[in-house]
Structure 1
Amino acid sequence: MENSAAVNYKRIEKAIAFISTNFERQPSLEEIAEQVHLSPFHFQRLFTEWAGTTPKRFLQYISMQYAKEILSKERATLWEATQATGLSSTSRLHDLFIQLEGMTPAEYKQGGKNLHIEYRVDNTPFGEVLIATTWKGICYLSFIEHNLEKSLQALIAKFPEATFTAGRNEMQDQALRIFHHDWADMPQIKLHLKGTDFQLKVWQCLLEIPKGSLCSYGQIAHEIGTPLASRAVGTAIGSNPVAYLIPCHRVIQSAGGIGGYMWGINRKKAIIGWEAAKKQ
């Protein structure tokens, strides 16, 4: 006889398959819940625990991915993408892009064509970083692991049609002060991020971890209300586009292991030790 965890997993798997197959009809919560023989309330809670997001948001993600496929075609229009995803109006698709991508459908289709990004390389106690800004705020901060060319390629891949200029600005200066100044006397740093609702929720939670403190993946999952989504939390942390400012280095395994880090385990250990020393 299957245990309850296995039964619930199969229910969520079936629900995800149903949403993925029928997203063009934009099925309601009640209709999806009926497929797995649960009440809408129970299904919503169970789906959120297992998938790390609500059924409605998951449906939006699926719809968004398909709309992006449509818009990637040279002559595709916003109306065609709206029709293909089953949304009721182009304004709904517009709002969805703003919520999930941080840009309008037109901006997405143009690959950041009208976006100007200024970047520079600077030194920190943990090696060189590539930092980039839009007019809204910091959009990218990465430790340079191998060489600058690879780091630049990674930045350009995120905004393939944007224009890039090497240069220095005040937003960059303010952000980089975090490595050299008193943390209690820091100006507010503006970030320009794009990500899913779940990713943004995880990144926001990371910002609340005090400097010099550590947290586990499970604790983050619990804090954002999805206690069974530790693996999804780990994936969101691994997608962090802004090193150090969004402190993914402060998250470790519940058993005490250091866990992974995009910019190298040794660098993560060094940062943790440095922060602990400055806290004293």
Structure 2
Amino acid sequence: MTQISPIPEMPDQEGYHYGVMRRAIDLLDRAEDPMQLDDIAGEMGMSAAHFQRLFSRWVGVSPKRYQQYLMLGQAKQMLAQNTTTLQAAHSLGLSGTGRLHDLFLRWEAMSPGEFARKGADLTIYWGWFESPFGPALVMGTEKGICGLALASEMGEEAAMQDLLSRWPQAQFVEDPMMLRPWVLTAFGAQDGKLDKAPLYLIGAPFQIKVWEALLSIPSGQVTTYSDIAETIGHPKAVRAVGTAVGRNPVSWLIPCHRALRKSGALGGYHWGLPVKRAMLAFEAARAEAS
């Protein structure tokens, strides 16, 4: 049985509520039709009034409003109204070492030569954690987080094999406590010890450029694969950009879920489309609440 560390570390009641919200988000995302408040609360074992207050405090909007964000049409509306101009974001210094919107991140990338060695001479630590979007497998070197896989759709074994296969020559060591402070910060549950969650990007040079562009997209906004291609100076490389987005090993923190097709369709998502839809809805709800 996989050991999953709870996130965030809170008193028992708060930790329990965190788990309830994760289950509620998953329930709403999988529902074929909009659910009534009484039915959702019943599934969570709570009264409607108590669940409504709790959900609104954690997510920022009511369950009814959150379900509206889950509708596929919302992605098109976001694209029409809230798409970010990546060039402007870059000029304002929103990528790299600055504060990245609702997350505190700093990052550096492995050199091309190091990447070519497929992780040789690299020690990668790993552990399982709870996240708002289900079980999260987090991997990191001494320099920062290099992998974050979400297993709610593909399963824990497949998620583990997915990340292990990316750096086949590396040495892997299970050590969730080493990663825990970074993960707490990355999921917005800062414990007062860190103000930045470090990322260590392991990828080919073209992939790194695409991932850097993704880091410039503010939470609650979206962009298109073609806009990313334009931003990195390869306007005709839309398909290659899509491939690089799909190969992003650090879900959520490098926000590949914010990249849509030009039509407004969600496109693919390596960790499962329900996860992508839930992430976009969660961020849109938080943006509205703030």
Instruction: Please give the TM-score of this superposition, normalised by the length of structure 2.
Output: 0.56
C-alpha deviations, 1:104-153, integer Å up to 9, x for none? x7xx2xx5453222111111111111001111211111001333222222
Partner of 2:261: 253
The alpha-carbon deviation at position 170 of structure 1 amounts to 5.1
Partner of 2:114: 102
Asked whether the 8 Å contact 1:174–1:187 carries over to 2, the reply is no
Asked whether the 8 Å contact 2:163–2:249 carries over to 1, the reply is no
Asked whether the 8 Å contact 1:115–1:162 carries over to 2, the reply is yes
In the alignment, residue 143 of structure 1 is paired with which amino acid?
A: L
Asked whether the 8 Å contact 2:185–2:196 carries over to 1, the reply is no
Partner of 2:139: 132
For 1:177 and 1:188, the matched residues in 2 are separated by 7
Asked whether the 8 Å contact 1:205–1:220 carries over to 2, the reply is yes
Aligned-partner SS, 1:174? helix
Partner of 2:195: 187
The alpha-carbon deviation at position 154 of structure 1 amounts to 2.1
Q: Residues 219 and 142 of structure 1: is their aligned pair in 2 closer, same or farther, counting only changes over 3 Å?
A: same
For 1:192 and 1:172, the matched residues in 2 are separated by 16
Out of 112, 120, 124, the position equivalent to 1:117 is 124
Number of matched pairs: 176
Higher relative helix content? 1
Unaligned runs of 5+ in 1: 1-97
Partner of 2:205: 197
Asked whether the 8 Å contact 1:211–1:275 carries over to 2, the reply is yes
Flag the structure with larger Rg.
1
Aligned-partner SS, 2:173? strand
1:222 aligns with 2:233: no
Percentage of identical aligned residues = 39
Partner of 1:279: 287
Q: Which has the higher contact order (CA 8 A, sep 6+)?
A: 2
Instruction: Please give the TM-score of this superposition, normalised by the length of structure 1.
Output: 0.57
For 1:162 and 1:203, the matched residues in 2 are separated by 22
1:174 aligns with 2:186: no
The alpha-carbon deviation at position 228 of structure 1 amounts to 1.6
Q: Residues 256 and 112 of structure 1: is their aligned pair in 2 closer, same or farther, counting only changes over 3 Å?
A: closer
Partner of 2:165: 157
Higher relative strand content? 2
Unaligned runs of 5+ in 2: 1-109
For 1:112 and 1:222, the matched residues in 2 are separated by 31
Q: Residues 140 and 194 of structure 1: is their aligned pair in 2 closer, same or farther, counting only changes over 3 Å?
A: same
C-alpha deviations, 1:203-258, integer Å up to 9, x for none? 00000000111001111111112222111111110110111110000011111111
Aligned-partner SS, 2:165? helix
Q: Residues 102 and 187 of structure 1: is their aligned pair in 2 closer, same or farther, counting only changes over 3 Å?
A: farther
For 2:283 and 2:113, the matched residues in 1 are separated by 33
Alpha-carbon RMSD across the aligned residues, in angstroms, is: 2.3
Range with bigger deviation, 141-150 or 203-212:
141-150
Aligned-partner SS, 2:214? helix
Moved over 6 A (4+): none
For 1:114 and 1:222, the matched residues in 2 are separated by 36
Structure 1 residues 28-39: aligned runs within 5 Å: none
C-alpha deviations, 1:37-59, integer Å up to 9, x for none? xxxxxxxxxxxxxxxxxxxxxxx
Aligned-partner SS, 1:192? strand
For 1:220 and 1:205, the matched residues in 2 are separated by 7
